[in-house]
Amino acid sequence: MTFPKAYIASEYEKNIYKLWEESGLFKADPNSSKPHFSMSMPPPNETGSLHMGHALFLTLQDIIARHQRQLGKDVLWLPGTDHAALPVNALMEQQLTEQGTNKHEIGREEFKKRTKEFVGNSRNQIISQMRAMGTSADWDKLRYTLDNTLNRCVNEVFFRMFNDDLIYRKYRIVNWDPKLETTVSDDEVEHKEETAPLYTLQYGPFQITTARPETKFGDKYVVMHPDDERYKQYKHDDTFEVEWLNGKVTAKVIKDEAVDMSFGTGVMTITPWHDKTDFEIAERHGLEKDQIIDFTGKLLPIAGKFSGENIEDARPKIVEKLDKLGLLIGVEDKPHNLAVNSRGKGVIEPQIMLQWFVDVNRPAVEWKGQKRSLKEVMRAVVEDGDIKIIPKRFEKIYFHWIDNLRDWCVSRQIWWGHQIPAWRKKGTDDDYVAFRNSTEAENKLGTKNIERDPDTLDTWFSSALWTWSTLIDKVYYEGDKDHEPHRRDNLESLLERSIDFDKYHPTTVMETGYDILFFWVARMILATTYTLRSAGLDEEKSLPFKTVYLHGLVRTEEGRKMSKSDPDSIIDPMEVIPEFGTDALRLALVAGTTAGTDQRVGKSKILANRNFANKLWNIARYIQETVGNNRGEPAPKSLADHWILNLLSISSEAVKKALANFKFHEAYEILYHFVWDDLADWYIEASKTEPNREVLNHVLETTLKIAHPFAPFVTETIWQNLEFEGLLAAQLWPEAADFDHTKAKQFDELKNIISEARRITVAVGVNKPTLLYAKSGLIEQNKELVKRLGRLGDVVEAAKPRGMRLVGAKNDAWLDIDPQIVKAYLANLKVAQKEQERFVKLLESRLSNKAYMQKAPDELVEQTENELRQAKKQLDTISNQLKSMS
């Protein structure tokens, strides 16, 4: 058949994906006798379209899934989407505001109805875009974090934790977002650095500093470190009178080790209702707590005449009053961390509220012979090597997070999400009690007149169950509108009867971004180990996964974070694919990616990697046009045949080993250089002298198999155009063909001769010189090859050497070049070497200058470092040329 001249990705990709999907290739088979491999997809939020972060994880996970199939495994790559409670809720509230209404006006049920319609449309778009990325997931297993089965699992876990005293409801300080009117977890709080006034105030005999004078109305405790010699005359619980914002206050001295003696005067007043550290001090000493700011961000009556005012409006007026009272000592602008909700961007106002919490310190489950808390199990599974984190340096960050982990506030005051499965008798102030469903609640409470807690659960609570809840067969959870299971069903029996859970859990790999190590990975470990151990499973089966691979963020070419607030910084995958093709995008994302490290991607990188796809296409087209696509057992004849088969074998094993160790960039780098340098630049050119049909087709076939996980569309398109048997995506990893190592090494020697001849010819500026050699059977037998590839005028045996000797070759060979030409070139090369040495020293001096390193912008320092690397590389090239030619 005729092979098209150019590869135009858009003409093939949809049909190729349809071919894969209709073949059933992506479907897992738990009854298969093959070894099982499983991986859960981090479900994208249903808030719009895929971004470059999604494109990266889809690419890396697809490479893993396709390669595992090549290794002969039954692969379950389970896809899903996330209801994303907080971000979806924020988006819907914004839409309602733009429509001139709000959630309270339309009511809860209408709000949920509109949200469901919105995410349904978004879900279809996202899944379509996943397919466009080449995602080889088992779409029959598609899961949604708010579907009925997962809701039942959520209710089950909440119920179990409640009955094990691991979930409790209590008044505690939380992160409150007045804008979205909900709590948010500690991990969802961002800290934006800004310059803000720091006020020094006179509080009786003490000077205190604060960035928030609006919270000072309730201050009646002054706290100092018990070891601070400056205040040793003050005893714990001493009292004194203070003239303050609303008149006289009787203040009390509190001694507490939480105070930083080196900060300011070493003394502070506390506002326990609106600061976590202050709250903890108050809890330790049984102090009163006064609320100053309400849940909408306005001051309460305790603020006197400022009551009802917004914080931002009231602050300058309060400062003015402090000044008039003679209590304002000074104002200084200082860097300040402003806490904001990472989702809705509302400024966080700590508040004491009645909320649901997961106790991470209470003994929870038996783990390796000990009753351990959730925190202790989370630490143990990584410390003991049951779960491996790649890169390893993130283990230290993980442990630090665990050491500082507080009880997890899991209740949210929003309407989109899993509603908390807790009920009480309607119209009472009884405590809510957790049940699996409303029927169970009615039976246990002895009445149908019940009410459910209106709050929903933190998104990460449901997502924490992802690896195992998605493996429970939906049919077992078919029931009424409350998603009640059949009466005989409980979690233990459901897990036991689920063949998917039996074969695929724990999942083999969890691949995700390092930015959700705590949001998601850590919480999956917390919830899964607890739930499955409490259901009677052994420790190995209770792990969510065995290996965690953390990729970095995708940044712009300039190193900036891609952000919706900066549209110019964003590269939309769905705009890139029609222009460059999916493979070009995938290869650009793989090139340079290393575990836990951010990478830069721009259109220039995508264009460069499109060239690789085109190179594969052109190689295939040349082979098809030269020798056809008739395949047979490869029988190497020429030295080049043996050489390419040797390199193909080495490259294949190296790529396989790199992928086994999740070194995606290294694997692609090996593949890239084999295809571009060894196959295209050398073997294809060498084969033009003596083409070997079977070897050419074998090398092409094997290369396509190795390249397929990285660039699935172009490789499958080539495979189909060449009418090779079956689907490339269904082929096993290739086996090496036979070759002769000695003959392969002989071609390496020819390659050295040819390379050095080319380099010298170009360097000194001569055209087609003659190569002279002395009694070399290797050169004699391959004269035509050396002449053509070396771009030489002739290759001649000579009795006496003359001209310039090739020092890199084992065989005696010379280029017949006038010595005066060489001498002049060497003189110029020495001048260039000295100039380059001076430039390198200049850059090194600049980077060793402390003043420069401290004052220069980061971008300039980075540019200088890059210049130094390039300058050293160029100097090495010049020095090596001098050494070889002198």
Closest to 750 measured CA to CA, from 665, 704, 808: 808
> Which one-letter amino acid corresponds to residue 305?
K
Structure tokens at 303: 């603020």
Measured distance CA(809)–CA(749) in Å, rounded? 7
Q: HEC profile for 441-485? A: HHHHHCCCCEEECCCEECHHHHHCCHHHHCCCCHHHHCCCCCCCC
* Pairing verdict, β 36-40 and 74-78: parallel
Q: Which amino acid is at 623?
A: I
Quick one: DSSP state of residue 82?
B
Question: What does the H/E/C string look like for 605-617?
Answer: HHHHHHHHHHHHH
Q: Alpha helix locations (H) across 573-692? A: 573-580, 582-590, 603-627, 639-660, 664-673, 684-687
pLDDT for position 481: 46
Q: Under a CB-based contact definition with an 8 Å cutoff, are residues 611 and 688 in contact?
A: no
List of residues 6+ apart from 803 with CB closer than 8 A: 769, 772, 814, 815, 816, 817, 819
Question: Tokens 């850059």 map to which residue?
Answer: 843
Do 629 and 98 contact (CB within 8 A), yes or no? no
Q: How many CB atoms lie within 10 A of CB 765?
A: 9
pLDDT at position 489:
60
Strands 770-773 and 794-797: parallel
Q: What gap in Å lies between CA 184 and CA 339, rounded to an integer?
A: 11
User: What's the CA gap between 572 and 132, in Å, rounded?
Assistant: 13
Q: Taking the chain (886 residues) in consecutive chunks of 10 residues, what is each chunk's mean pLDDT?
A: 84 96 97 97 85 93 98 98 88 90 92 89 89 97 92 94 97 92 87 89 94 92 95 95 93 95 90 93 95 95 94 94 95 88 85 97 95 97 98 96 94 95 95 94 95 95 96 62 50 87 97 93 97 96 98 86 66 91 97 92 92 96 87 91 97 97 97 96 92 95 98 97 93 95 95 91 90 92 94 92 81 88 83 90 89 81 87 83 69
Judged by DSSP in three states, 351 sits in: strand
Any idea what DSSP says for residue 344? T
Residue 803: what pLDDT? 82
Q: Around Cβ 823, how many Cβ atoms within 10 Å?
A: 10
Q: Which residues pair with 191 in a beta bridge?
A: 339
Residue 653: both structure tokens together: 């094993």
Pick from 469, 461, 463, 547: nearest CA to 511: 547
Exposure of 151 in the CB half-sphere (CA atoms within 13 A)? 21
CA angle 344, 349, 303 (to 5 degrees): 135
Query: Alpha carbon 282 to chain centroid distance?
Result: 39
CA distance 129 to 814: 59
Whether residue 503 contacts residue 30, with contact meaning beta carbons closer than 8 Å, is answered with yes
Please give the structure tokens belonging to residue 424.
């009480």
| Pairwise CA distance, residues 782 & 343, whole Å | 68
Q: Which helix (H) or strand (E) holds 127?
A: helix 108-132
In whole angstroms, what is the distance from residue 616 CA to residue 701 CA?
11
pLDDT in the model for residue 777? 92
